[in-house]
Amino acid sequence: MSLYQNLILDHYRNPRNHGVLKKATHHGEADNPICGDTLQMDIIVKNDIIEDVKFSGSGCAISQASASLFTEAVKKKSIRKALVLEPKDVLTLLGITLSPNRLKCGLLSLETLHLTLNQELGIKNQDNKP
Amino acid sequence: MLNGFVLILNFYLSFSILIFTFSIIHKKMLNPQTIKQDFPIFTHQKELVYLDSAATALKPQTVIDAEKKYLEQYSSNVGRGLYPLAETATEKFEAVREKIARFIGAADTQEIIFTSGTTASINLAAGLLAESVHPADNIVVTEMEHHSNYLPWKELAKKCGASFHVIPITGEGAIDIATLKNSIDERTKIAAFSAVSNVLGTINPVEKFVAAIKGINPQTLVLVDAAQAAPHMRIDVSLWRADFVAFSGHKMFGPTGVGVLYGKAALLETFPPIVFGGGMVFDACAEDTRYREIPYRFEAGTPNIGGVIALGAALDYIENIGFTNIRAYETALTAYAQKRLQETFDDAIRIIGPKDTKDRGGIIAFSLKNIHPHDIAQLLGEQNICVRAGEHCAAPLHRRFGLSATTRLSLSIYNSEEDIEKLITALKEIQKIFSVA
């Protein structure tokens, strides 16, 4: 089965939540230097709820479609609920299985979210480099 | 009677001419379909389009057989055993050292050190030179280097407190000889550059570069990374006059885990070993350790015996076809690929590296407008078309061109115009998939 299913291509071509939030309460970014994928995330948190989230950056279709699907999934969720999401949940959203070489692309959005929100929970940002 | 003789003679002569002509044509026209039959992977992978030979070349049956034969029939260690098996293994192993010396024009078999590959070869050279680099010295590399010929030198400079200088490349991906000369001074201890770039395909005029470097500073030691040259063109260290030359077996149809560091004998003699263990020592008594002669003192531990023997078979395979034929065929195919890619994708494609095919090996790195190289490579992979995507272990080079990654195809003798056409058809489909409706 091709990795490039309609869902992924649709989100790559028409990304949801793409852009920046001027009034963001949280900002974070991560990259995947081996591929050259970059992702920035702006989040507005209100009463521990992700009121709004937007992403920008560049990279392969998998990384960008994943960011689109993932931001849709975490929007309006509580921070705690968003942060318990695991790699397998992201893959479920994408509807594909990724080879080890492409996993990092698919999980970049999850990683960025963690980097962006961990400070909220008083968790020290971990080095995002592999 | 005489008539009959003339007739036979005539017949004989025409027949000889025919055979001669046929052999010339045959030599000139390397047939990829015939070549393909030498590589068993094509019978296992029916629709394989392998365009990643710069990463590793496929293996001909003769190479596989040579390694298998060692493992099955005379598996034993080299250099020590006095029984026939070990003697056979040692003989065959050392015969490859001789073969390599001849293959690259080395004056002596002592100048051939077996390693696990180009990376290990360059790191070994850097290790041998560690004591010779001092704080006021500098080490020079180029912007087109593979990380293997970049990081060992950068780290060595850092460790020794020496400065590290990177020679910039031109927009076409070449090294300007004036810029090269300007980078060398009386404190340049080491200059390292590749014979062929693994991304741009640029063929550097090694002989000219070495002469230019030595012309400014005869003391500068020069290392040439020949990993991408060795499978495709004749290396002649007697002409190059570099102090060190490094290359891998697996890129020249041999197995992985075998490589060579060539070093000038007089120079190698000056270095003590840096890796210690078995096989590199005469006498290891407490007070007095006597290390073996070169190259053995640099080959501690059991080498990749089967791999070396199989590399010998790979060299035979190359010699049998001949570098003239290989280079001619690959140049023609590279020109075809360049032309077809350019005319098909026009403004949407950007091919980096030399425009003129005579200045490049069979490597073409490109970017296709609005499509990430990883998406291209993945989708091509789904059709069993194998290319590389990424920065190809050459981050400084990609930064130079403002690219985060490229898609790279690299050619060998088993590739054909048909492979290029399959690639182009697939790329067109990929363009369609990603086109915004």
| Chain B residues within 8 A of A60 when measuring between CB atoms | 372-375, 378
User: What is the per-residue pLDDT for B262?
Assistant: 98
**A3, A4, A35 member nearest B405 (Cβ):** A35
pLDDT tens-place string over residues B61-97: 999 999 999 999 999 999 878 899 999 999 999 999 9
User: What is the per-residue pLDDT for B13?
Assistant: 54
Check CB contact of A96 with chain B, cutoff 8 Å. no
Q: How far is CA B31 from CA B42, B80, B289, B423, in A?
A: 15, 44, 55, 20
Domains and CATH numbers, chain B: 30-51+322-434 (3.90.1150.10), 63-320 (3.40.640.10)
Task: Give B163's pLDDT tier (boundaries 50, 70, 90).
Answer: very high
| Chain A residues within 8 A of B372 when measuring between CB atoms | 35, 37, 59-61
Check CB contact of B370 with chain A, cutoff 8 Å. no
Sign of torsion over alpha carbons B110, B115, B121, B123? negative
Alpha-carbon gap: B154 to the closest alpha carbon of chain A (Å): 20
Evaluate if residue B360 carries a pLDDT over 90.
yes
| Chain B residues within 8 A of A9 when measuring between CB atoms | 433-434
| Chain B residues within 8 A of A3 when measuring between CB atoms | 378-379, 382
User: What is the per-residue pLDDT for B161?
Assistant: 97
Averaged pLDDT score across all residues of chain A: 88
Q: Under a CB-based contact definition with an 8 Å cutoff, are residues B36 and B42 in contact?
A: yes
Evaluate if residue A121 carries a pLDDT over 70.
no
**Cα B38 → chain centroid:** 20
CB contact under 8 Å between B372 and A2, yes or no, is no
pLDDT tens-place string over residues B409-420: 999 999 999 999
Check CB contact of B402 with chain A, cutoff 8 Å. no
Check CB contact of B369 with chain A, cutoff 8 Å. no
How many whole angstroms separate alpha carbon A21 and alpha carbon A61? 23
Share of chain A above pLDDT 90, in %: 69
Residue of A nearest to B390 (CA): A35
Alpha-carbon gap: B131 to the closest alpha carbon of chain A (Å): 33
User: What is the per-residue pLDDT for B408?
Assistant: 97
**B372, B382, B398 member nearest A60 (Cβ):** B372
Give mean pLDDT, residues B134-150.
97
Task: Give B8's pLDDT tier (boundaries 50, 70, 90).
Answer: low
How many whole angstroms separate alpha carbon A55 and alpha carbon A67? 7
pTM: 0.89
Check CB contact of A13 with chain B, cutoff 8 Å. yes
Residue B104, burial from CB neighbour count under 10 angstroms (0-12, 13-18, 19+):
buried
User: What is the per-residue pLDDT for B192?
Assistant: 98
- Which residue in A39, A60, A129 has the most chain B C-beta atoms within 10 A of its own C-beta, making it the best mutation to test that interface? A60
Alpha-carbon gap: A12 to the closest alpha carbon of chain B (Å): 9
**A3, A13, A59 member nearest B436 (Cβ):** A13
Interface size, chain A vs chain B, as Cβ–Cβ contacts under 8 Å:
43
Residue B46, burial from CB neighbour count under 10 angstroms (0-12, 13-18, 19+):
exposed
Catalytically active residues of B are 393
Give mean pLDDT, residues B331-336.
98
Sign of torsion over alpha carbons A115, A116, A118, A123? positive
Neighbours of B354 (CB within 10 A): 20
Higher local confidence (pLDDT), B280 or B125: B125
Q: Under a CB-based contact definition with an 8 Å cutoff, are residues B153 and B220 in contact?
A: no
Q: Which of A54-63, A119-128, B40-49, B222-231 is predicted with the least confidence, judged by mean pLDDT?
A: A119-128
Domain limits of chain A?
6-118
Spell out the residues 6+ positions from residue B411 whose beta carbon is closer than 8 angstroms to its own: B51, B53, B330, B333, B334, B337, B362, B363
Alpha-carbon gap: B372 to the closest alpha carbon of chain A (Å): 5
CB contact under 8 Å between B374 and A2, yes or no, is no
**Cα B356 → chain centroid:** 21
pLDDT tens-place string over residues A64-100: 999 999 999 999 999 999 999 999 999 999 998 888 8
Alpha-carbon gap: B371 to the closest alpha carbon of chain A (Å): 7
Alpha-carbon gap: A42 to the closest alpha carbon of chain B (Å): 23
CATH classification (class only), A6-118: alpha beta
CB contact under 8 Å between A105 and B404, yes or no, is no
Residue of B nearest to A9 (CA): B434
Residue closest to B48 by CA, chosen among B408, B380, B427, B429: B380
Torsion of CA A21, A22, A25, A31, to 10 degrees: 60
**A4, A12, A34 member nearest B390 (Cβ):** A34
Paired tokens of A76: 């309006």
pLDDT tens-place string over residues B287-302: 778 889 999 999 999 9
Residue A75, burial from CB neighbour count under 10 angstroms (0-12, 13-18, 19+):
middle
CB contact under 8 Å between B382 and A105, yes or no, is no
User: What is the per-residue pLDDT for A129?
Assistant: 38
Q: Which of A43-47, B5-9, B187-191, B351-355 is predicted with the least confidence, judged by mean pLDDT?
A: B5-9
User: What is the per-residue pLDDT for B409?
Assistant: 98
Paired tokens of A67: 């960011």
Spell out the residues 6+ positions from residue B326 whose beta carbon is closer than 8 angstroms to its own: B30, B232, B233, B318, B413
For chain A, positions 36-75, list CB contacts with chain B under 8 A.
36-37, 58-62
Evaluate if residue B30 carries a pLDDT over 80.
yes
Residue B420, burial from CB neighbour count under 10 angstroms (0-12, 13-18, 19+):
buried
